[in-house]
Chains A and B, each alone.
Chain A
Amino acid sequence: MASEIMTLNMGPQHPSTHGVLRLVVELDGEVIQKITPHIGYLHRGVEKLAEHRTFHQALPLTDRMDYLAPMHNNLGYVLAVEKLLGLDVPERAKLVRVIMAELTRLKSHLVWIACHALDIGAMTVFLYAFREREMVMDLYEMVSGARMTSNYFRVGGLSRELPAGFEQKVQEIVDTFPGHFDTYEGLLTKNTIWLQRTIGNGVISAEDAIDYGISGPALRGSGVDFDLRRDLPYSGYEDFDFKVPVGENCDTFDRYKVRLVEMREAVKIIDQALKRLKPGPILADAPQVCYPPKESVYNSIEGLIHHFKIASEGFPVPEGEVYMAVENPKGELGYYIVSDGGNRPYRMRVRPPSFVNLSAIEKMAKGSMLADLVAVIGTLDIVLGEIDR
């Protein structure tokens, strides 16, 4: 019997497409023949804006890209600028950055598991994961004053010292979160509906995953044992003991398992970093780059002038180019920054993991049912703020 191809608009209103992704799906009955993603609804020109701001002023722009993992965006950016400057940051700043980065990984993965489960129909996990995420958000608010757009790191270190009581709150997370992960696993890992919706769904082989540039948990779910934190370490990750989970069957269920193990490992990394945390400076000894302490700004004319000079003019960065990548919850988040010797980035390029991962969606979902496409979108864990920039 001759079949007729039907074109269906999925999104941007569909709940699984995050409000700013439109997929034009061509269907033969219920089977997907072709997917054409339409992106750009959220394009804010971050790369262009960064060229017109000093290196300090470009930092808040990075928060707003992957808005589920703002501190990772901050981290990649400050590491890239520090690499250009040849600047080393103090040990305490490195450890706090690791703690905040791993808390951010938890925060991002909790949203992923919540939304992924809700897309497939598990409402309870959604409510539980958001309840736990609030604890991380409270910590965000404690250290940076904002629950989402943190802007906490600085070129050379951190913007301010950790508040009193922070370490106890983080310890509480370290103690309680593994139990919460057990709860999620109890609700999903042996759930028949979950297994049927995820096993064998969105399969992409290791070779194809590399070919399509997939990175992060999605790459490891396809059996590629590669993690930037371990293999090309930054910010002192080489001193931490953690496992890198790898999948075998290259499907949605494997990617789910990989991310769950990653959350458990993140808790272990935070625990190790907490134990090593000692008092010390949080900014590099580089007066031409770092702001002076607030007491000095308020109480001395030299401090005020120093602060004003950096705030108004920024700092010059030696001519050159670097590419600095960090293991963001979604994958390889890279910053390619070109400096012409001035106080602004001549070119700031962000290598967005979600953008590259999304380009493989047709490869992963072609030939499967329309309902499986929802699971594929969820398993890629995309954030449109980063895709469109």
Chain B
Amino acid sequence: MAENNRAVVKLKERYADALLEYKEHRGEVTVIVKKESVLEVLKFLRDDLRYNFLSDLTAVDYLGQEPRFMVVYNLLSIPNKDRIRIKAPVTEADCSIESATALWNSANWLEREVFDLFGIDFKNHPNMVRILMTDDWVGHPLRKDYPVQGPDREPYKGRVS
């Protein structure tokens, strides 16, 4: 159960106002926090609970829902051999969140990729430019409303799936 998880217990004690939701699925604990507090929560997890390795940073586009985006941080504790997932909701109207580069250098390229493919801006990032697409590319390819065949092209009709 997620509420018995060591990290969740500590987070509930310290960041009760910032916690929006926590759950466990297939043995994995996910905690959703307000985006204003995400950096504080990540720093606490890194320094006090030894989640010292930022495995992955990505985003999910829930088009049609509000808030539209979720920024996802998959953390790993090398000493405790344990994982936790932190998520922060980001709205389309205010499509930005604080950069985690202050905590981990690994966030640098991962955030650039999210910016490139989702259009989420990371505040205080040292080099917020596209990384996979060219600088003059229009649009953000991993958004759900971006056509899979690319812009200005007929949809491929060769398959039904």
Contact = CB atoms under 8 A, between A and B. Distances in A.
Interface string A343-386: 00011010100011011100100000000000000000000000
Nearest to A340: B62
Given A211-B105, A322-B28, A359-B108, A57 B161 contact: yes
A84 B110 CA distance: 24
Contact of B28 (A45, A86, A323): A323
B9 interface: no
Interface in A74-103: 83-84, 86
Contacts of A39: 131-132
Contact count band on A: 35 or more
Given A232-B81, A322-B26, A49 B134 contact: no
A363 B134 CA distance: 24
Contact of A52 (B108, B113, B148): B148
A355 B109 contact: yes
B124 interface: no
The dominant DSSP class at the A interface is mixed
Contact of A351 (B55, B60, B61, B141): B55
A212 B148 contact: no
A360 B109 CA distance: 10
Interface stretch (A104-112, A173-181, A279-287, A331-339): A331-339
A126 B83 CA distance: 39
B85 interface: yes
Given A213-B55, A332-B55, A356 B74 contact: no
B55 A86 contact: no
A49 B156 CA distance: 12
A314 to B, nearest CB: 8
Nearest to A313: B161
A213 B108 CA distance: 10
Nearest to B52: A210
A40 B28 contact: no
Nearest to A47: B142
Contacts of B148: 45, 48-49, 51-52
B45 interface: no
Contact of B78 (A53, A226, A312, A347): A226
Given A336-B72, A336-B74, A323 B55 contact: yes
A241 interface: no
Interface centre among A47, A322, A347 (most CB of B within 10 A): A347
A389 B26 CA distance: 27
B133 interface: yes
The dominant DSSP class at the B interface is mixed
B56 interface: yes
A54 B161 contact: yes
A351 B134 contact: no
Contact of A323 (B60, B78, B85): B85
A297 to B, nearest CB: 19
Nearest to B79: A226
Interface in A23-61: 39-40, 43, 45, 47-49, 51-54, 57
A323 B83 contact: yes
Contacts of B72: 336, 349
B131 A210 contact: no
Contact of A336 (B58, B78, B160): B58
Interface centre among B72, B109, B113 (most CB of A within 10 A): B109
A105 to B, nearest CB: 20
B74 A334 contact: yes
B26 A320 contact: yes
A388 B132 contact: yes
B25 interface: yes
B26 A86 contact: yes
A231 interface: yes
Interface centre among A48, A226, A355 (most CB of B within 10 A): A48
A359 B55 contact: no
Interface string B109-136: 1100100010000000000000111100
16 contacts: A39-B131, A39-B132, A43-B133, A45-B141, A48-B148, A83-B26, A86-B26, A208-B105, A320-B26, A321-B28, A325-B55, A336-B74, A356-B106, A359-B109, A363-B105, A388-B132
Given A336-B72, A336-B74, A351-B55, 18 more contacts: A39-B131, A39-B132, A40-B133, A208-B105, A210-B52, A211-B106, A213-B106, A231-B81, A232-B81, A232-B83, A312-B161, A321-B30, A322-B25, A323-B83, A323-B85, A349-B56, A351-B58, A389-B132
